[in-house]
Amino acid sequence: MDTKPVQLDNIDVLQVLNEEGMVDTTKAPPLTHDQLRRLYVAMVLTRKFDSRMLAMQRQGEMGTFAPNLGQEATQIGQVFPLTADDWFAPSYRSFGAQIWRGWSMEQLLLLWAGYHEGFPPPEGVNDLPFSIVIGSHVLPAVGVAMGMAQKKQQHCVTVNFGDGAMSQGAVNEAFNFAAVYKAPCVFVCENNGWAISTPLQRQAATESLAVRGIGFGIPSIRVDGNDILAMVAATTTAAERARAGQGPSLIEAVTYRMSLHTTADDPTVYRQEEHVDPWHQRCPLLRFERYLNRESILTEDECRRIADECEQRVLEARAKFREMAKARPEEIFDFVYHTMPPELIEQKKDYLSRLARKGLNP
């Protein structure tokens, strides 16, 4: 049986910033120095937040979550071109993008610690709540985009999902609806190489996932997902197409999951460390920093200062979270029935009295 991936030559591949921090100026998006600095700060903040969340989870302060170490460029690049009137439908590995969109870090900490008030998008932020169910949020995102088209609004929706979601029927249905109705939607497949423990070559017979978009009639491109400039260029073009009524685009952002699938995962069981090592040199932060230093946009001292400031911002958010994260055990009774039955009222009274006897007053 031939297990080699099918080679397809009709998919464009975009890289602007290579691993040495050198830029192809013919493909680079026209960004100001201030925009480049903002992108860098957002990527550093994403990594600092990820690192702190992992430490908090290991210390019992945080629930299970999905780290995004190494995917900072993919995250920030896909939301950079969005306006406040555009919509974003995130998957569960998207907190860097959510911070860019206006979510406070303390709210995201509440979300991952299991407090229901952490889930609704902040006031004035046009984001959908994420779904843990793989690919289930992609159809609603297309629905929002189709609503925009019906109302003749010149906005767009960006929705992201992992390579594993490409195997879900709902995602392929979303592609078809968006293509047929020219929904103003930007699909971003974050191909990080692993669907939990399943490597890409075990779930797709094609070398590129972007080719799937072609089959539905969607303009598609494969992008170096660790290249922030390529991500900005590709998503800007796709967003502009969508707003102009030209329909959806599919961007396959090729990156790598450097860390765990979630904090309940142990990747050493199914992958070798030598497969991870080459990706350290492809680090999105490292290559962007090399470019910014070379172009005198940021000095090494300024990069260190930004890292310290981002760490301090994360610690301040953690302090706010700790003030907000107060256990409310009585709530486990309060949202089941509209009118609580007598036996449940008695159970609640007994439960709260037991807590009180232990000095655990809610």
Check the CA dihedral 144-149-155-161 and report its sign. positive
Verify whether residue 257 is a known catalytic residue.
yes
Strand locations in the chain, DSSP E? 12-14, 87-89, 157-162, 185-191, 194-195, 198-199, 220-224, 249-254
Q: Active-site residue among 47, 93, 101, 257?
A: 257
Which residues contact residue 4 at a Cβ distance below 8 angstroms, ignoring those fewer than 6 apart?
Answer: none
Q: Give the CA distances from residue 322 to residues 122, 145, 311, in Å, rounded to whole numbers and listed in that order.
A: 19, 37, 17
Neighbouring CB atoms inside 10 A of 224's CB total: 25
Task: Give the separation between CA 19 and CA 171, rounded to whole angstroms.
Answer: 32
Whether the Cβ atoms of residue 65 and residue 52 lie closer than 8 Å to each other: no
Q: Active-site residue among 261, 282, 287, 318?
A: 261
Q: Active-site residue among 270, 275, 304, 305?
A: 270
Whether the Cβ atoms of residue 125 and residue 101 lie closer than 8 Å to each other: yes
Whether the Cβ atoms of residue 82 and residue 101 lie closer than 8 Å to each other: yes
Query: DSSP character for 85?
Result: T
Verify whether residue 305 is a known catalytic residue.
no
Verify whether residue 181 is a known catalytic residue.
no
The secondary structure of 93-150, three-state, reads: CCHHHHHHHCCCHHHHHHHHCCCHHHCCCCCCCCECCCCCCCCCCHHHHHHHHHHHHH
In this structure, what are the phi and psi dihedrals at residue 16, rounded to the nearest 5 degrees? -110, -45
Nearest by Cα to 166 from 212, 125, 128: 212
For the annotated catalytic residues, the residue numbers are: 257, 261, 270
